[in-house]
Amino acid sequence: MAWYAKPTEALASELQTDLNVGLNVDETARRQAQEGPNELPDAPPPSLLKLFLAQFSSLIVWVLIGAAIVSGLLEDWIDAAAILAIVFLNGVLGFVQEFRAERSLAALRKMSVATARVIRGGALQSIPARELVTGDVIALEAGDRVPADSRLFYTTNFQAQEASLTGESTPVQKQAERLETTEVPLADQHNMVFMGTVAVSGKARGLVVATGLGTELGRIASMIQKAAEAERDETPLQRRLEQFGYTLLWLALGVVTVVFALGYFRGEPLVEMFLTSVSLAVAAVPEGLPAVVTITLAMGVTRMAKRHALIRKLPAVETLGSATVICTDKTGTLTKNEMTVTRVMMDNSHFEVTGEGYEPSGEIREALGVKREAHLDLSPLTPGLRQLLTAAVLCNGATLQQENGTWQIIGDPTEGALLVAAAKAGLTKAELERRAPLDREVPFDAERKMMTILRRTEQG
């Protein structure tokens, strides 16, 4: 539905809500019972038995089990026990790795309990985002994650980061005015905010128009789920192992047939020749191959875990290694989407800024090779460079903060990159703002294409 093309008053009337008061308690309870929780349903985790049995679904594993059975029938108990032990240990190793991954993912889901600020009964309150319903009035400001698809009816210099949904790495300027046309692409719906995106600057209020699976993010999740259920593709490694299993199977049958036929034509006892040919076929099966593959993949999973990447299925760790070409016109969807200042040019001088991401560790050095270490003593900085970085910090609406050991930017990523560059030179926002408190601010305006900040310094 083209929510973006409707006047907010008509929209509020259609959703039976009040833009200033919001919904009352009774209406909220009724809609929650009707719509369900505002969340994307997770597929139920596999049971421990199912997870364990899944480790024995490969054809080559069944070939090994068949070889163990044949060895047992031939009363070769040592070979039978060795093959079964390898198969069992291989299954246990795969089960342990995938069980750890499932448990880690479950712990992450419990940690990420999102909240939303909503107006209900005329009062602004904070509630779990899963309790939102259509018709709720939400309040957003820099740093908030949008809890549901909403039509904005009030904005003040409001921008949202929509890279997770549209792939656009730069923040999108939002507005409250309705759009005149009804066929507008998702990325151009500038009076809408969508579940899962992030507010980077300004303030806004919006009317929730869709929750849960009804949101744009929910539609994508539904399509992915349907595609996954309809087509369970195997990884390249799994396909090659499956192919190898069939090759082994036909090779074993060929050995049995050829040896038995030769013995028959030579007049050898049939039972003896049958047992000999089966023994040769069993000996041709590489019992250690599944264990070697599993251990190799487990080592890859361990290395990925050290880089804070969770792998749910062991074969998946090999899939990306099989990619030969990645074609994309986006950066934020493939990278951390963290802008970084790498070079400063002024006063006929070029400066390089080292370091990556939002962590304020690095140094500023002249591009000609004269190194200028960054520390709290600002003497290595030229007066012009110091003045430039100071202005970049004081005329800046972003905030740099550390949370759980990770540096994050609250606000516009471009302004955040400027903060980080200044911090590498020892110019912190807190200290500079203490020396030059805010006097007046003129927010960014699309016509002026600039923001203006007035501050009082010791010189006035």
Selecting from 2.70.150.10, 3.20.20.140, 1.10.3720.10, 1.10.10.1100, what CATH number does the domain 3-38+132-220 have? 2.70.150.10
Q: What pLDDT, on a 0 to 100 scale, did the predictor assign at position 356?
A: 84
Phi, psi of 68 (to 5 degrees): -65, -40
For residues 9-30, average pLDDT = 91
Are 264 and 270 spatial neighbours (Cβ–Cβ below 8 Å)?
A: yes
Higher pLDDT, 107 or 140: 140
Q: Identify the CA nearest to 149 among candidates 209, 80, 218.
A: 209
Name, in order, each residue with C-beta under 8 angstroms of 320's C-beta and a sequence gap of 6 or more: none
pLDDT band at 165, cuts 50/70/90?
A: confident
Range with the poorest average pLDDT among 14-28, 321-335, 440-454: 321-335
Higher pLDDT, 352 or 269: 352
Higher pLDDT, 375 or 28: 28
Are 57 and 153 spatial neighbours (Cβ–Cβ below 8 Å)?
A: no
In the chain, ranges of CATH 3.40.1110.10 domains: 343-455
If one looks up domain 343-455 in CATH, what number appears?
A: 3.40.1110.10
Q: What pLDDT, on a 0 to 100 scale, did the predictor assign at position 335?
A: 66
In the chain, ranges of CATH 2.70.150.10 domains: 3-38+132-220
Q: Where are the alpha helices (DSSP H) in 58-194?
A: 59-73, 77-111, 163-166
- Counting residues of the chain whose pLDDT is more than 70, the rounded percentage is 83
Q: Which residues are catalytic?
A: 329
Amino acid at 288: G
Q: Is 50 exceeded by the pLDDT of residue 204?
A: yes
pTM of the model as a whole: 0.55
∠ CA 169-171-173 to the nearest 5 degrees?
A: 145
For residues 404-419, average pLDDT = 84
**Average pLDDT for the chain:** 80
pLDDT tens digits for 67-83? 788 778 777 788 788 87
Q: What pLDDT, on a 0 to 100 scale, did the predictor assign at position 375?
A: 39
pLDDT tens digits for 99-127? 776 776 666 555 445 789 999 988 889 89
pLDDT tens digits for 330-383? 555 566 677 889 999 887 788 889 888 888 888 888 876 544 444 334 445 788
Helical (H) or strand (E) element with 419:
helix 413-424
In the structure encoding, which two tokens stand for residue 132, read together? 């939102």
pLDDT tens digits for 427-440? 999 899 888 888 88
